Amino acid sequence: MTTRVRMLSGFNHNLKHKGKIYHIQTEDGGKDNPQIITHAFLGGVILDTVRQPYGDLLLKPNWQDALRDRMKAQHLEEIRKLFSGAFDAQTETSSEDD
């Protein structure tokens, strides 16, 4: 019998920055597509996407713990980008009513 390894649960945060609500989402692509994918959204529009492969972790005995740590780090980095103003120029003309 084979043990089926499921994708790890991701992270989702709604964050207010300069009067707008952004959504940051990080997810695991799974063993068949080993990459961490993080999106930054505003009003359903993707502002930024970060993809990081993690095939290097799959050979480690504690790969799921290492993957979880890497996912957290990538998610927090996207939050830092948001609050540092990295997406401000893209969203200056957007209004909350759009």
Q: Where are the domains of the chain?
A: 11-87
- The token pair at 28 is 């695991």
Strand partners, 23: 14, 41
Query: CA–CA separation, 59 vs 79, rounded Å?
Result: 29
Q: What is the pLDDT along the chain (98 residues), one digit of tens a residue?
A: 445 567 789 999 999 999 999 999 999 999 999 999 999 999 999 999 999 999 999 999 999 999 999 999 999 999 999 999 999 999 886 554 44
The identity of residue 86, as a single letter, is: A
SS3 16: strand
Distances (CA, A) of 43 to 3, 17, 47, 51, 92: 39, 13, 10, 21, 13
- The token pair at 50 is 């970060």
| pTM for the model | 0.86
